[in-house]
Chains A and B, each alone.
Chain A
Amino acid sequence: MAANLASADGQDKTKPSGWAEVKRAFTGLRRGETIAGYLFLLPNFAGFLVFMLFPIFFAFYIMLTDWSLAKPPEFIGLKNFETMVNDRLFWKSLSNSFYYTFIAVPTGIFIAFWLALALNRKMRGIIFFRTVYFLPQITLTVAAATVWRWIYQPEIGMINHALEWFGIDGPKWIHDTRWAMPSVIIMSNWQGIGFAMLILLAGLQGIPEEFYEAAAIDGASSWQRMRFVTLPMLSPAIFFVVVTSLIGAFQAFDQFFVLTQGGPADATTPLTLYIFNNAFKFFKMGYGAALAAVLFVIILIITIIQWHLARRWVFGFDED
């Protein structure tokens, strides 16, 4: 990325910097280009300022207020964060978010990895399978969760019926506090696996065939080829999938809202749903914004940790 930016800019290096540069850009030979540049950017940048940059700064203010929308906001400093400390439901939703993320993401990536390995074989009809595994990904979560809600029905649902063939008396799934979260995780992985699978598959296809040939000449076993060729070469793709999946999982909302509505007994209320309930059910805008800030900080910390760890386990991480 950095290299890319620099190369596009090659000719500009000798130019004076700061105000003189700005002045020259508007008066010199390249005046037309400067004006065109800003004009082309304008529609995008205006929207970006109004609907992204401004709301971000606005959020900082809202989280410091008590605001029900009916009355003007009342500035209360950090009180929302104090409330949070003693809010049992906040801790519950936080732990639910972690439970969901740290079970769903590793299991999903593990399955996606094996599927990608299988799909990387040169066989007929591979594209058909790839399409099938990817279909749930583009299906809207609301429809998918609707279908799964029915699949999970204890009496008439398909899963418990299938389990019965094996003589297993299935649990009550989304109606059982212990099984509700695993139910959401299974559905989410069914839906989301296509994404990780595609990225990993692209990574596998980028590994030069010669590496495997060289390993074979050295007498490497299939396990050794996996350990010393496939995994290191795939590590950038794995890294990417891990980071995006973690961030995505912390933001998951639709499946919880439709599949379980956060229940039973808040067993599946993640932070996102708790934010939603506070802001748009109870109209506590300030508290909602404060909760959203917590979510943002978690995502930020995870991203930073990942980037630091990546130096150790991602092949060639520091090179570009």
Chain B
Amino acid sequence: MRLMATSDKPKRTLIGQKQSKLLTDLLVYVVLSVVGVIFIMPFAWMVANSFKDIRGIYTYPPTFIPDVWRFENYTEAWSMTHFDAGFLNSAIVAAAVVFGQLLTASLAGYSFARLRYPGRDKIFLLYLSLMMVPFTVLLIPLYVQMRAFGWISTLQAVIVPFLFTPWGTFMMRQFMVTIPRELEDAARIDGCGFFRTYWLIILPLTKPALATLAIFTFVNTWNSFQWPLIVLGKPKVKTLPLLLASFQNQSGMRTPWHLIMAAATFVVIPVLIAFIVGQKYYVRGIVTSGIKGGA
């Protein structure tokens, strides 16, 4: 450091390294904060406007703090969009998909990681290669299939096809391979069958990976839009993102942005909570498996 400082940065020797680092830190803070404000602004506007009245929305120039605080926006938006049914639908779908994926992925992951049988690695390679198929390619054939099953406008259509996850299985397998075999052998010698070994030994040790998969799947399922849009036509079965999207299209002359913002706030909150609670697992999931949230 010293050498460098004298050779090409004479400034550093003048004010000393410590001050120089402090100065750079300060600069970085300023830049990070400015960018941070840009990132947080849309959220802030969403919440601020969810409390305004329609006049406040169309006031020019716009103000950040509402003149009149209308908390009724939330109850109004809630009843106008039938959000109670939407919440229930979204919750049912998210819970079913999360538990289903945890079960099928951990079972198959254990099978791939630990049990030996013919064809295992070939099947695993097939899983890996199909991870690359974009979902857009599946949309049409899967829709036709759902029609044939009579599942259009039922929650099965957004649950059942998503109970199985190639990348979740891959993640489970990768994690379980690292668990020391001795633990399992001890259980087997004590007379545990394969299922008991899986349930009592492997599954508890896999908790971090299960948590990662759970939070990822929850966020993705809760936010899922394209597929529900295609298969859930009837209002009764619609999930929250669909209700939010249709809410803003049914507006008349003056778009009721204050109500739309209140509705958007509703929908975003559960995911924000899930993220803040499980941030550690979410971040690790991205870093280790590189799977993106969202669509």
List chain A positions with a Cβ less than 8 A from chain B. Answer: 1, 4-5, 8-9, 11-12, 21-22, 25, 30, 32-34, 36-38, 40-41, 43-45, 47-48, 51-56, 58-59, 62, 69, 115, 118-119, 121, 123, 129, 131-144, 146-151, 155-156, 158, 161, 164, 190-192, 195, 198-199, 202, 216-217, 219-221, 240, 244, 247-248, 250-254, 257-258, 272, 275-276, 279-280, 285, 288-289, 292-293, 295-296, 299, 303
Contacts and interface: CB of A to CB of B under 8 A. Distances in A.
A247 B111 contact: no
Contacts of A8: 113, 177
B4 A219 contact: yes
B98 interface: no
Interface string B74-113: 0000000000000000000000000000011101101111
27 contacts: A1-B128, A25-B118, A33-B117, A38-B117, A41-B107, A43-B104, A44-B169, A123-B28, A132-B40, A134-B283, A135-B272, A138-B219, A138-B282, A140-B268, A142-B267, A146-B245, A147-B261, A150-B49, A156-B57, A161-B62, A199-B287, A219-B7, A244-B290, A257-B245, A275-B136, A276-B230, A285-B140
A280 to B, nearest CB: 6
In order of increasing CB-CB distance, the 10 nearest A-B pairs are A47-B164, A140-B223, A37-B115, A44-B108, A40-B111, A55-B141, A37-B117, A36-B194, A58-B141, A51-B161
Contacts of A123: 25, 28-29
Nearest to A258: B245
A129 B53 CA distance: 32
Given A47-B164, A143-B244, A220-B4, A292 B137 contact: yes
Given A9-B121, A216-B4, A146 B32 contact: no
Contacts of B257: 150
B4 A25 contact: no
Given A158-B62, A216-B1, A288-B140, A34 B134 contact: no
B286 interface: yes
Given A44-B164, A146-B244, A289-B141, A37 B116 contact: yes
Contact of A12 (B43, B116, B230): B116
A36 to B, nearest CB: 4
Nearest to B1: A216
Contacts of B282: 138
Contact of B275 (A40, A138, A190, A202): A138
Contacts of A34: 115-118
Interface in B33-52: 35-36, 38-43, 45-46, 49
Interface in B115-147: 115-121, 123-124, 127-128, 130, 132-145, 147
A11 B114 CA distance: 12
Given A21-B118, A40-B198, A129 B177 contact: no
A303 B129 CA distance: 13
A198 B248 CA distance: 33
